[in-house]
């Protein structure tokens, strides 16, 4: 930024949250699949028996030309969920084996559908970013939590949907929903739970909630954070309750680190000053792995709560 003459901007937590929200929405648009592979899948998975695209295929199910106008995998996930039970029943009635998808197969299939569909004059329609607070409400209201947990809170019938190891792109999310729909339907029937219908906006809200919960699925450890403050040279400049450096504020006085937005904005706003100070003092700039940063933040929050 110095080399390019770019001023170091100040970001308040709300602005930081808006910036992160924009970057988050980029996950809605996965890397484009291979249309040629998708065309083979459309035939081999027997989608062509029931569905038509570009004038080719069956008419039992809806015409998939409509898919061309949607730019978000959220719409795909919603359609797969809402129509999954009916499609499964239709395939069983015709002796068609229900297909599953792995790897990039669904992405390839969608790429084919988009390439084979006639362009629509009204242009693309995109689902807006989800609202995590509404997603949390829906997770309870639609009774998802009866079978699934999110960061350990909820049922144990299905997997915890906020585990970091389960990180998926949105196409992979839609693919997993399709593959597991029969098992989920059976579990809901056994539990006397009606299968909920979802609007695309509601699916976006649910996904936003699960993504946001995953950020906190593995909280930091305050004790490890305290060790990091001592071993990474933080106390060369900062004191902790009066013990340590005097060049920067006492870390025990740090407040308002109540959200990731607040943490990121605080680090960003002070980074320029800290970097210049580190250079002047000949101090090596410390780097942190994600879990270490979580531990450090947990310690700072703990310090603030013990004021």
Distance CA 172, CA 28 (A): 11
Q: Give Cα 46 distance to the centre of its chain.
A: 31
Please tell me the predicted confidence (pLDDT) of residue 216. 54
Chain segment 192-201, per-residue pLDDT in tens:
998 899 998 8
Model confidence pLDDT, tens digit, residues 141-157: 999 999 998 877 888 88
How many angstroms separate the CA atoms of 227 and 23, rounded? 32
Residue with tokens 């100040």: 10
**Does the structure show a pLDDT above 80 at 240?**
yes
Per-residue pLDDT, 49: 93
Evaluate if residue 182 carries a pLDDT over 60.
yes
pLDDT above 80: residue 273 = yes
3-state percent helix, strand, coil for the chain, nearest multiple of 5:
55, 5, 40
Q: How many percent of the chain have pLDDT more than 70?
A: 89
* Beta carbons within 8 Å of 194's beta carbon, 6+ residues apart: 188
Mean pLDDT (the chain) is 84
Closest of 133, 170, 259, 160 to residue 214, by C-alpha: 160
Do 202 and 208 contact (CB within 8 A), yes or no?
Answer: no
Contact assessment for residue 54 and residue 65, using Cβ atoms and an 8 Å cutoff: yes
pLDDT digits (tens, 9 = 90+) for 82-127: 888 888 888 888 899 899 999 999 989 988 988 888 766 555 555 6
Q: Enumerate the β-bridge partners of residue 56.
A: 53
**Separation in Å, CA 60 to CA 47, 64, 68:** 10, 12, 19
DSSP reduced 3-state for 153 = strand
- State residue 71's pLDDT score: 56
Determine the pLDDT at residue 5: 92
pLDDT of residue 66: 74
Q: Provide the pLDDT for residue 4.
A: 93
Stated as kind and residue range, the H or E segment containing 291 is: helix 290-305
Give the tens place of pLDDT for each residue, 38-78. 999 999 999 999 999 988 899 988 888 877 666 567 788 88
Q: Are the beta carbons of 60 and 90 closer than 8 angstroms?
A: yes
pLDDT tops 80 at residue 245: yes
- CATH fold of 219-305: Cytochrome Bc1 Complex; Chain D, domain 2 (1.10.760)
Please give the pLDDT value at position 298. Answer: 87
DSSP 67-119: GGGB--HHHHHHHHHHHHHHHHHHHHHTTPPPP---TTHHHHHHHHHHHHSPP
* Domain boundaries of the chain, sorted by first residue: 20-214, 219-305
Give the separation between CA 179 and CA 176, rounded to whole angstroms. 5
């Amino acid at each position: 930024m110095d080399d390019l003459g770019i001023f170091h901007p100040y970001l308040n937590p709300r602005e930081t949250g808006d910036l992160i929200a924009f970057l988050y929405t980029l996950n809605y648009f996965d890397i484009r699949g291979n249309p040629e592979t998708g065309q083979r899948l459309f035939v081999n998975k027997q989608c062509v028996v029931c569905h038509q695209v570009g004038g080719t295929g069956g008419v039992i199910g809806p015409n998939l030309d409509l898919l061309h106008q949607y730019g978000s995998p959220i719409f795909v996930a919603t359609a797969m969920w809402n129509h999954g039970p009916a499609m499964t029943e239709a395939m069983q009635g015709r002796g068609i084996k229900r297909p599953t998808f792995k790897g990039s197969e669904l992405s390839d299939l969608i790429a084919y559908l988009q390439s084979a569909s006639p362009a629509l004059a009204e242009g693309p329609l995109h689902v807006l970013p989800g609202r995590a607070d509404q997603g949390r409400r829906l997770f309870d209201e639609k009774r998802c939590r009866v079978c699934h947990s999110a960061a350990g809170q909820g049922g144990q019938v299905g997997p915890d949907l906020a585990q970091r190891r389960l990180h998926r792109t949105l196409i992979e999310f839609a693919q997993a929903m399709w593959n597991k729909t029969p098992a989920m339907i059976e579990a809901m029937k056994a539990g006397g739970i009606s299968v909920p219908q979802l609007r695309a906006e509601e699916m976006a809200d649910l996904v936003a909630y699960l993504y946001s919960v995953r950020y906190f699925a593995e909280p930091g450890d305050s004790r490890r954070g305290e060790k990091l403050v001592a071993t990474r040279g933080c106390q060369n400049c900062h004191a902790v309750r009066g013990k340590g450096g005097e060049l920067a504020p006492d870390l025990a006085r740090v407040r308002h680190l109540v959200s990731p937005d607040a943490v990121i904005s605080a680090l960003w706003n002070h980074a320029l000053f800290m970097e210049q100070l580190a250079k002047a003092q000949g101090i090596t700039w410390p780097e942190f792995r994600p879990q270490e940063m979580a531990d450090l933040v947990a310690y700072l929050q703990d310090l603030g709560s013990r004021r």
